[in-house]
A and B are shown apart, each in its own frame.
Chain A
Amino acid sequence: MAVPVIMPKQGQSVESCIITKWHKKKGDRVKAGDLLFTYETDKATFDEEAKVDGVILEIFFEEDEDVPVLTNVCVIGEEGEDYSEFDPRGPQKPTQSAEDTTSKEAQETISVESSSGINLNKTQESAVQDIQPGERIKISPRARNYAEKIGIDYRYATSTGPHGRIIERDIIALQEKGPVFTFAAKDVAMEYQTGIPTEGTGLGGRIRIEDLKKEAEVPVTQQSAEAASSVAAPVHTAAKLPEEHEPEYVEVKLTNIRKVIAKSMHQSLANSAQLTLHTTFDATEILNFRKKIKENKDKLGLQNITINDIILYAVSRTLLNHKYLNAHFLDDKIKLFNVVHLGVAVDTERGLMVPTIMYANKKSLNEISAEVKALVSECQKGTINPDLLKSGTFTVTNLGMLDIESFTPVINPPQTGILGVNNVVQRVREVNGQYEYYPAMGLSLTFDHRAIDGAPAARFLKELKENLENFTLLLTK
């Protein structure tokens, strides 16, 4: 008899896992104990072994797919056996190619409609409603009527009824808790008080970042009007403001660059797994070095090399030992660069701009310094070549001059890291039983955990710190 293999539930809060690798393919014969697939939660990686002997009759989810826990992932049985009842995607659809985007969507949405799955339903706490556009939503008459009565769009409900049916309690939950977003999208949506899309394309109709992005492309004012007039809008957006004679706010249209920044930052935070490591380094050497340069620049015909230039140089020379930070993360693959195009965050009147120092790893400190000055000037003038605004492999942003001691810079996607440079503070350290002051400069490295883990990122910071503390040695390399 065919036996389904479910995505195990690793911990109470885990709702879905990503299949990182299939060790078997459809049609392979497996023995109990054979490694089937590797999957990841947000915390760890696990291996799933076959529990029975047989042939893998079907694989329902490909690598990198995010699979709700307790959902059937594949079926093991004997050749020729009917396994359709285990297919979490519902009644058998025409065979789909993995490249086919519609098929991919279909696989993302899960339905337990056809599941015979007593084993599945037994322990499942909430079935997931399949609401692909155009498909019938299963909802009890009572739930539907109640939703209409309280003026709520039942498509936002998470179904917990049998066979994916939305039942009354789901509408009550929706009424109490609002529409259902993916975790990432929910945070973003909180900022976007307007413009919650009517269609979620995520699991169980969850609203994904993508859906929000679509909404965001529409000008905000128009969106607000739409939201206000839309019957189907979720209840909380329809909240009324008290009528006042004095306007409480002024509506300002977003500039294009604001929109770009908003979109980019959004996307960054929503679509990646960012976290920030903070450290400080002893800036004695670079401060002394800079002092010397300052004193001798005219004599040597050098630029007015700034601390920031020194850091940029050090980064450009350190990064190539840590290629996962000098990379583009592209969902299903990662581009590791052998050159460093270093983005430099520039504060302008229009807003944040990030021009790029191309091939920074091949440029001297002086060249870098000169180029930065030129780029900043172009940015401020607005004459910057747009190509130079999007080609970076890593970015450095500096708020040190604004007395920021530490912060969490936001990655400029699809880059995997950004280094924040902070101010210098006097710190105390013990040397041979004596306390002494030294200038400590802060570094804040945000990296995308999807691309790189904490330790390798920390190693980059450590090497960078060493290079900066021994900058003259670096220069001589």
Chain B
Amino acid sequence: MPKSLFIDPNGIRKSGYITFKDIPVNQYNKTIEEEKSNYSKEDFLRIFRDMAIIREFETMINAIKTTGQYNGIEYNHPGPAHLSIGQEAAVVGQAYLLDENDFIFGSHRSHGEVISKGLSAIEKMSDERLLDIMKNFEGGKILKVVEGKQKNNGNVKELAIDFLLYGFLAENFARETGVNRGLGGSMHMFFTPFGIYPNNAIVGGSADIGVGAALYKKINKKKGIVIVNIGDGALGCGPVWEAICLATMGQYKKLWEGEYRGGLPLIFNFYNNQYGMGGQTSGETMGFDMLARVGAGVNPEQMHAERIDGYNPLAVIDAIRRKKKILEEKNGPVLLDTITYRFTGHSPSDASSYRTKEEIDAWMEHDSLVTYRRQLVEAKVATDDEFDAILADVKELITKICRLATDDTVSPRMDLVKDPDAIGRLMFSNQKIEKMDDRECEVLMPKEENPRVQQIKKKARFGLDENGKPVPKNRVYQLRDAIFEAIIDKFYTDPTLIAYGEENRDWGGAFAVYRGLTEALPYHRLFNTSISEGAIVGSAVGYALCGGRVIAEIMYCDFIGRAGDEIFNQLSKWQAMSAGILKMPVVVRVSVGSKYGAQHSQDWSSLVTHIPGLKVVFPATPYDAKGLMNSALAGTDPVIFFESQRIYDVGELFHKGGVPEGYYEVPIGEPDIKKEGKDITILTVGATLYRALEAAKILEEKYGLSAEIIDARSLVPFNYEKVLESVKKTGKIVLASDACERGSFLKEVAQTITETAFDYLDAPPVVVGSRNWITPAHELETFFFPQPEWIIDAIHEKIMPLKGHVPVSNFTVNEQLRRNKMGV
């Protein structure tokens, strides 16, 4: 929506044609002889060696999975094994030119990618650097296992290869000595010191994460490119399309300023092995015929799309060399359709019923380990004996690694008996890092000159005047000001902080929280995105795990569904799956609506609380909103930050002295007593706080009961101390939130209270939530969302009958059972 881009009706309405450039298909046609000037004999042979290592690594796992032994080593591996036998040339070719600064992200079938990338990085790194990495990684734990077991003692590269292969295989076998202490496993192996970033068991899951990594490189001016390696089947996944859209937004080349102008340093590389599990993408499950065609429709550059021959490592190296140049010229991103073929099934349990033996045999005749070797022998680069020696060495190497990785004494598993909390400790990093990088923050003006900052200065920071009367809305410091204040503060502190989402720039966010930020920040720190909630969150994951801090906004809470995988599987998991190596300083802002019907009014806080690994907060007052946002932005964990559209304009009514101008934090996980009382406790989440206050007033005036009101503020984590203390005092508790009553997080809280304070309870804790319906129109919302009277009714019916009370809602047991029977 930038005013600088004029949408000219004359241009838009002009007739004409869209023309396409040709998309190259397997255009590489050099001979070994021609390539001899580019590669030494060692280079040629190292390419073969790397392919052979991958082949043997995968063959070993296949043997263990299918026969229970490899080369005399017996082992049972119940975990996954998505093997890439047949795809070696493509991955070795891709990795050949990449170094530690180039990041790759992979899929479930990425053993080959990570090994080839690791081998390539080792080749390019100095011995000192390699030793430094090995000694410091997990306190040298992996190094200790492999040290001193090399043929040529003192050869650091040989040691590093052992380190790499052992680290990955131990990870495969869920050993604590694996690269991620066995918490990632086969489909999630990575090793960031070598530029190997997470593989992903969700098909296409890496696409939007990779976009975030590319954004990180671009915005923070980091060296290197990013390659997202996903399969041809992944092109059918919505988030992959969203990732492509987000990565090709016109603004990078049109609106971003100065050195930031230009495309992302990103390659979407599709390892096109012709199958998505058993679905044949060309001809059966997709319509592209050739995958590279898709790039043509995305942007005028056609994403520089190209099909390359993944069965020739030299063709792939050639392509990467050319594409890398495009990226360095800021003309990315690039789409590559790297054809390949796997001889093994999708997994060892795959009987390949969807393809013929003839097809497999035909591809085996093209096997790169055979044809590449033959070409080299024919070109007299090396003799068959030399190749046989390489293969023998590789077999010896893989046998050694396999023996170590299956040995329980040197490769123990995580001891959850001795240390029952070992995984629990990894769910959150719980660090406080003020800034993720130490450099100047790029801003457009001093903070004090910002028009919004100046406007807020004039506002009353406490919601009541000296006579106790509410300050008029437009004069009071509102909850949206509080969020803004925390965020703009961080933009002037942490240079890596970026914020994006739909309507963030110019508009100032759909609910005017970001008003004033546009003036303060250059494009690359605050921008609008395609309507791609999945990719918005997914890219935030990628940005954060590379080392940046990010606020992703997905507008309505209801759109969490659109970002389901990214929130539930990516944002929440990577800290623990990396065994604490990755940090996830991401704040996802979601806004709970009302008035807008069934798909714009839902409080889905309960959904995210169910997912381990997410922190969930829902402030209801300006003081808490600023303090919790400050905490969220200072931490290193993913925080789902719930806001409510009902209360963006509330002033601070509780914190004496109003919302402080300076920096302060409200700790995540600490509920707050908003009103003291002695007869009954009411715990609220979000905007229900204000309805509970009304209920408390009725209880006080009509029934002589004094209610204690506790605002949960955070849902995960949650410190029960104050709540239990209160319940022990009152013996009674009602829990209220706008979430639908069935499966509400408050049911969990109620259950925990029952378990921990049973002997103090005078009645079961009662949850008052929204009805298990669609949200009706605004005019009918009082029948859907909890009302103050409902709280009274619940008390009357389930906790203590109130003299003379006539309920307006039905909280009887029979009604409860009837509704459940109906499923409503």
Q: Which residue of B lies closest to A144 (CB)?
A: B759
Cα distance A165–B796 in the bound complex, in angstroms: 13
Cα distance A198–B241 in the bound complex, in angstroms: 77
Cα distance A177–B758 in the bound complex, in angstroms: 27
A116 on the B face (CB < 8 A)? yes
Given contacts A141-B759, A141-B761, A145-B759, contact A160 B814 (CB under 8 A): no
- Give the distance to chain B from A92, nearest Cβ to Cβ, in Å: 15
Contacts of B762 in A (CB 8 A): 140-143, 161, 167-168
Contacts of A160 in B (CB 8 A): 800-801
Q: Does the CB pair A161–B812 fall under 8 Å?
A: no
Given contacts A116-B812, A116-B814, A121-B797, contact A162 B807 (CB under 8 A): no
Contacts of B798 in A (CB 8 A): 162
* Stretch in contact with the other chain, from A123-131, A341-349, A360-368: A123-131
Cα distance A85–B806 in the bound complex, in angstroms: 21
Q: Which residue of A lies closest to B812 (CB)?
A: A118
B810 on the A face (CB < 8 A)? yes
Q: Does the CB pair A163–B813 fall under 8 Å?
A: yes
Chain B stretch 617-652: residues in CB contact (< 8 A) with chain A: none
Given contacts A116-B814, A118-B807, A122-B807, contact A161 B763 (CB under 8 A): yes
A335 on the B face (CB < 8 A)? no
Given contacts A118-B812, A163-B813, A168-B731, contact A141 B800 (CB under 8 A): no
Chain B stretch 315-364: residues in CB contact (< 8 A) with chain A: none
B760 on the A face (CB < 8 A)? yes
Cα distance A412–B444 in the bound complex, in angstroms: 105
Contacts of B763 in A (CB 8 A): 140, 161-162, 165, 167
Q: Report B448-481 CB contacts with A as 1/0, cut-off 8 Å.
A: 0000000000000000000000000000000000
Cα distance A165–B806 in the bound complex, in angstroms: 20
Q: Report B804-824 CB contacts with A as 1/0, cut-off 8 Å.
A: 111100101111000000000
Q: Report A111-155 CB contacts with B as 1/0, cut-off 8 Å.
A: 000001110011111110000000000001111010000000000
Given contacts A118-B812, A168-B731, contact A125 B760 (CB under 8 A): no
Most buried by B among A85, A142, A163, A168: A142
Q: Does the CB pair B761–A140 fall under 8 Å?
A: yes
Q: Does the CB pair A167–B800 fall under 8 Å?
A: yes
Given contacts A116-B814, A118-B807, A122-B806, contact A142 B759 (CB under 8 A): yes
Contacts of A116 in B (CB 8 A): 812-815
Interface size (A, Cβ < 8 Å)? 24
Cα distance A165–B731 in the bound complex, in angstroms: 14
Cα distance A411–B762 in the bound complex, in angstroms: 47
Given contacts A123-B806, A125-B801, A127-B801, contact A141 B760 (CB under 8 A): yes
B52 on the A face (CB < 8 A)? no
Given contacts A142-B761, A142-B762, A161-B763, contact A121 B801 (CB under 8 A): yes
Q: Report A53-92 CB contacts with B as 1/0, cut-off 8 Å.
A: 0000000000000000000000000000000010000000
B interface, over-half SS: loop
Q: Does the CB pair A161–B813 fall under 8 Å?
A: no
A462 on the B face (CB < 8 A)? no
Cα distance A167–B802 in the bound complex, in angstroms: 13
- Give the distance to chain B from A339, nearest Cβ to Cβ, in Å: 55
B551 on the A face (CB < 8 A)? no
Chain B stretch 7-66: residues in CB contact (< 8 A) with chain A: none
B291 on the A face (CB < 8 A)? no
Chain A stretch 138-192: residues in CB contact (< 8 A) with chain B: 140-143, 145, 160-163, 165, 167-169
Q: Report B735-773 CB contacts with A as 1/0, cut-off 8 Å.
A: 000000000000000000000001111110000000000
Contacts of A142 in B (CB 8 A): 731, 759-762
Q: Does the CB pair B812–A121 fall under 8 Å?
A: yes
Cα distance A116–B810 in the bound complex, in angstroms: 11
B803 on the A face (CB < 8 A)? yes
- Give the distance to chain B from A138, nearest Cβ to Cβ, in Å: 11
B799 on the A face (CB < 8 A)? yes
Q: Does the CB pair A125–B761 fall under 8 Å?
A: no
Specify which of A141, A161, A162, A163 is in contact with B758 (CB 8 Å cutoff).
A141
Contacts of A141 in B (CB 8 A): 758-762
Contacts of B758 in A (CB 8 A): 141
Q: Which residue of A lies closest to B811 (CB)?
A: A118
Contacts of B807 in A (CB 8 A): 118, 122
Chain B stretch 768-810: residues in CB contact (< 8 A) with chain A: 796-801, 803-807, 810
- Give the distance to chain A from B504, nearest Cβ to Cβ, in Å: 49
Most buried by B among A141, A161, A163: A141
Q: Does the CB pair A125–B810 fall under 8 Å?
A: no
Contacts of A163 in B (CB 8 A): 813
Q: Report B517-553 CB contacts with A as 1/0, cut-off 8 Å.
A: 0000000000000000000000000000000000000
Q: Does the CB pair B801–A162 fall under 8 Å?
A: yes
Cα distance A125–B797 in the bound complex, in angstroms: 12
Chain A stretch 322-367: residues in CB contact (< 8 A) with chain B: none
Cα distance A420–B814 in the bound complex, in angstroms: 59
Q: Does the CB pair B759–A118 fall under 8 Å?
A: no
- Give the distance to chain A from B208, nearest Cβ to Cβ, in Å: 51
Cα distance A126–B50 in the bound complex, in angstroms: 83
Contacts of B812 in A (CB 8 A): 116-118, 121
Q: Which residue of B lies closest to A118 (CB)?
A: B812
Cα distance A160–B801 in the bound complex, in angstroms: 7
Contacts of A123 in B (CB 8 A): 804, 806
- Give the distance to chain B from A88, nearest Cβ to Cβ, in Å: 15
Cα distance A124–B758 in the bound complex, in angstroms: 27
Most buried by A among B758, B801, B815: B801
Q: Does the CB pair A125–B731 fall under 8 Å?
A: no
- Give the distance to chain B from A157, nearest Cβ to Cβ, in Å: 13
Given contacts A118-B812, A142-B760, contact A125 B799 (CB under 8 A): no
Most buried by A among B762, B797, B807: B762
Q: Does the CB pair A125–B800 fall under 8 Å?
A: no
Contacts of A124 in B (CB 8 A): 801
Q: Which residue of B lies closest to A162 (CB)?
A: B798
User: Sorted from nearest, which 4 A-B pairs have the closest CB atoms?
Assistant: A116-B814, A142-B762, A142-B731, A140-B762
Interface residues of B (CB under 8 A from A): 731, 758-763, 796-801, 803-807, 810, 812-815
Interface residues of A (CB under 8 A from B): 85, 116-118, 121-127, 140-143, 145, 160-163, 165, 167-169
Can you list 14 A-B pairs, Cβ within 8 angstroms, ordered by A? Answer: A116-B814, A118-B815, A121-B797, A123-B804, A123-B806, A125-B803, A160-B801, A161-B762, A161-B799, A162-B763, A165-B763, A167-B763, A167-B800, A168-B762
Given contacts A118-B815, A140-B731, 8 further A-B contacts (CB under 8 A): A121-B796, A140-B761, A141-B758, A141-B759, A162-B763, A162-B801, A167-B799, A168-B731
